[in-house]
Amino acid sequence: MAHPDTTLESRSRRNLLKVGSLALGGLVIGFSLPFPDRSFAEQVLSEGPEDQPMSNATALDAFIGIDRDGKVIFTVPKIEMGQGAQSGLAVMIAEELEIGLDQITLKEAPPNEAIYNDKLLNFQATGGSTSIRSNWEPLRQAGAAARLLLIQAAAQRWQVGADQLRAENGRVLGPNGQSFGYGELVDDASKLPVPENIPLKPAEQFKLIGKPTRRLDTPAKVNGTARFTIDLVVPGMKYASARACPVLGGTVRSVDDRAARKVPGVIDVIRLGDAVAVIGEHTWATFAGVRALEIEWDYGDNANIDSAQMEREIKEALDKPGALANEQGDIDKALKDAAKTFEAEYQMPFLAHAALEPMTCVAQVRPDAVELWVGTQVPVRAQTAAAEASGRPAEQIIVNNQLIGGAFGRRLEVDFIHQAVAIAAKVDYPIKLTWLREEDTTHDMYRPHYIDRFAAAMDAEGRLLGWRHTIAGASVLARFAPAAVPDSGLDGDAVEVAIHPIYAMQNLRVNYVPVPPKALRQSWWRGVGPLRGTYMLESFIDEVARSVDRDPVEYRMELLGSHPRAQAVLRLATEQAGWGEPLEAGHGRGIAVQEVFGSFLATVVELQVTEDKGIKLKRLVVAIDCGQVMNPVSVKSQIEGGTLFGLSAALFNEITVSKGRVEQSNFHDYRQLRISEAPPVETFIVESREAPGGVGEAGTAMIAPALVNALASANGTRIRRLPLARAGYYVI
């Protein structure tokens, strides 16, 4: 339990630091709550007393706790799902606190929007490649504040000026060789006021930031001891699986569960509105039980919808005005007067996330509380879903966040948590819900299908005068956060990258036409808006350049005059890839360059294509300027993995719908890139002291346009609709 001792507010800092002590002795550092006119005690108490769910973090120990043994507990505001963010954030704390990474113990943050809201996303979430960007200043300040307090405490003990002391490796060192471990100083430090000024280390003094460091979560992941949601067992727990109506919006009419109940190990069959769940003594019994269910469905309104109709509706939307996103100059006049014009239309298909850990959630509904053990990107939304499903107030919902076995955006959604709690509410023991892979593929929340239409105007020399760009597809934001969408329907995510093209042009109009989703629930997928926009813009600018017989790199370079960081990565990637060097027949190189998630990237694909459409990927070269790097190994890993993740989808993936049902079900028909098809990814990082940019999704956003541009260069065929497999291409 934390007790406030002192608070100090400095108007110069966005997040005001707080200091206090642990109940059993120790120092805690957190941020202030956002109501400066209310007393600190009021704000902490308004979250409920310490033994209540919401208050297992107060504002006080929100981020750092140091106990009398010198152990540092870092409550991480972001979840680990492979991106290495937790370790990157720990580097920030360790750097300023002058400790080794091995001295840090990570703790998952509970749901608490007052404390853990992401300042870029404005809600508590791990997504949008924000983890490092959002926390770069506040977490370093928290670490530095703790260090200054510990030094001050030592200065008082030794009766010397704090300026004669320094901190190193978890100890405060005095002028005459004396020293204290942090644990010896925490009680004194917790009684001191937060320092007025908290200077941050200049980059030249970084010991950890920007250096290769080992991730903290990996040792347990190579020996089988890491626990994901699917691995958890809580006392008294039973297992559960479920089958929901194959058509979205359908409901259960009747269930014949006689065969299911005969499966050895099956305990119970639970009927929900749109699904039937089987509870058993082990997962296998629940899977076999689900397969043995005979369910008659009322399929509802979506039962006759298929992909062709959905595509037609998106295409028709392109002829509507929709919402104006941006307008400069007079594009209609420019197109009318242009010496040359070029028009094209591009499509991206529906995609599933297909994370390797299917949807899983452990839930217990008991008289005093509802407790969840679940890997989630959105702890507060998880709490809200559990409250809705159980009819309990949010204060009674405890969320224990867990390591995630891949999410790629899927766990920004809480549908499976709602289902787990609905099942748990009908029994008096905890259940672990595990979806079959087939359920996961057919009941995902899919990346929308988008169609974009462009018309570009050029002068007689082929110089770009501007373009008209219309985007059509479902608005994820309108469902996810309706308040963030204005009356016009403009979805700020759907128009990212497109709304302010990186390329200089005097005339521009960008419109977005939302298409109300049918038959599929639609959501974010790794790369979100920037992935969408980058595929569209980088395909189109490439075609524009080729239409006027210009080299696609030179053409881009000329239009990037006001973006020197983009020019620099374009130069670096093309140099490293040998752009312009002669290629054999059937070989080609393609380029894409963009600013995404606050980082600048250029990706070059070199490939060979055979006459029967076999593609051999020769080289993937990525240059990235993501500002200040936390850990170059993590940046490279994310670029390598993110690039291949996007490549897999661009080559193979499309979710299709027939009679309202998703047609793909498992990895045999929703296939993914395998090691034998994966070329090495060569990553080059631009050294930079700019503020950090995002990297988790950046590589993914770049690869599809670079791939189709390379194919066009190799065989003259322009693929305007992903995936390549749809046009008969395969990997050799």
Minimum CB–partner distance for residue 616 and another protein (Å): 13
* 374 interacts with another protein by CB under 8 A: no
Report d(CA 610, CA 616) in Å as an integer.
8
Contacting another protein within 380-409 (CB under 8 A): 403-408
Percentages helix, strand, coil for the chain (3-state, rounded to 5) are: 35, 25, 40
Report d(CA 358, CA 374) in Å as an integer.
12
How do strand 166-168 and strand 340-348 relate by DSSP bridges? unpaired
8-state DSSP, 83? S
With respect to another protein, which residue has the nearer C-beta, 644 or 686? 644
Give me the residue label for tokens 């709690």. Answer: 421
Beta carbons within 8 Å of 194's beta carbon, 6+ residues apart:
6, 7, 8, 17, 18, 19, 145, 149
* 284 interacts with another protein by CB under 8 A: yes
- H helices of 26-76, in order, are 40-46
Interface segment toward another protein; rule CB under 8 A; list 307-315, 454-462, 498-506, 632-640: 632-640
Interface segment toward another protein; rule CB under 8 A; list 9-17, 214-222, 601-609, 708-716: 214-222
Q: Which of 161, 224, 321, 728 binds another protein (CB under 8 A)?
A: 224
* 674 interacts with another protein by CB under 8 A: yes
Q: Are 477 and 128 in contact (CB under 8 A)?
A: no
Give me the residue label for tokens 């070059």. Answer: 604
Beta carbons within 8 Å of 510's beta carbon, 6+ residues apart:
324, 325, 326, 327, 469, 470, 471, 495, 498, 499
Per-residue binding letters, 681-720, with another protein (x by CB under 8 A): x---------------------------------------
Per-residue binding letters, 74-103, with another protein (x by CB under 8 A): ------xxxxx-------------------
Minimum CB–partner distance for residue 375 and another protein (Å): 10
| Angle at the Cα of 496 from the Cα atoms of 494 and 501, rounded to 5 degrees | 135
Q: Which of 434, 442, 523, 534 binds another protein (CB under 8 A)?
A: 434
Nearest to 620 by CA among 644, 636, 601, 596: 644
Q: Which of 287, 342, 450, 729 binds another protein (CB under 8 A)?
A: 287
Contacting another protein within 225-264 (CB under 8 A): 225-228, 230-231, 233, 239, 264
Report d(CA 532, CA 444) in Å as an integer.
19
* 672 interacts with another protein by CB under 8 A: yes
Report d(CA 188, CA 231) in Å as an integer.
42
* 641 interacts with another protein by CB under 8 A: yes
* 673 interacts with another protein by CB under 8 A: yes
Amino acid at 374: V
Minimum CB–partner distance for residue 644 and another protein (Å): 3
Contacting another protein within 501-560 (CB under 8 A): none
Give me the residue label for tokens 């997040």. Answer: 15
3-state secondary structure of 50: coil
Q: Which of 89, 99, 153, 355 binds another protein (CB under 8 A)?
A: 355
Report d(CA 382, CA 447) in Å as an integer.
21
Minimum CB–partner distance for residue 677 and another protein (Å): 8
Tokens standing for residue 526 = 């790794």
Q: Which of 39, 169, 178, 218 binds another protein (CB under 8 A)?
A: 218
> What's the count of helices (H) and strands (E) in the chain, helices before strands?
18, 30
Report d(CA 613, CA 711) in Å as an integer.
10
Interface segment toward another protein; rule CB under 8 A; list 28-36, 381-389, 506-514, 666-674: 666-674
Report d(CA 168, CA 151) in Å as an integer.
11
With respect to another protein, which residue has the nearer C-beta, 560 or 673? 673
Q: Which of 272, 436, 505, 714 binds another protein (CB under 8 A)?
A: 436
HSE, side-chain direction, 13 A CA sphere, residue 519: 23
* 457 interacts with another protein by CB under 8 A: no
Q: How big is the site for another protein, counted in residues (CB under 8 A)?
A: 67
Q: Which of 45, 324, 391, 667 binds another protein (CB under 8 A)?
A: 667
Amino acid at 39: S
Q: Which of 77, 128, 322, 358 binds another protein (CB under 8 A)?
A: 358
Minimum CB–partner distance for residue 649 and another protein (Å): 11
With respect to another protein, which residue has the nearer C-beta, 60 or 407? 407
How do strand 179-181 and strand 266-271 relate by DSSP bridges? unpaired
Contacting another protein within 261-280 (CB under 8 A): 264-265
With respect to another protein, which residue has the nearer C-beta, 391 or 680? 680
Minimum CB–partner distance for residue 556 and another protein (Å): 27
Minimum CB–partner distance for residue 665 and another protein (Å): 10
Report d(CA 182, CA 189) in Å as an integer.
9
Interacting residue ranges for another protein, rule: CB under 8 A: 80-84, 214-215, 217-228, 230-231, 233, 239, 264-265, 281-284, 287, 354-358, 403-408, 434, 436-437, 633-634, 637-638, 640-645, 647-648, 666-668, 672-676, 678, 680-681
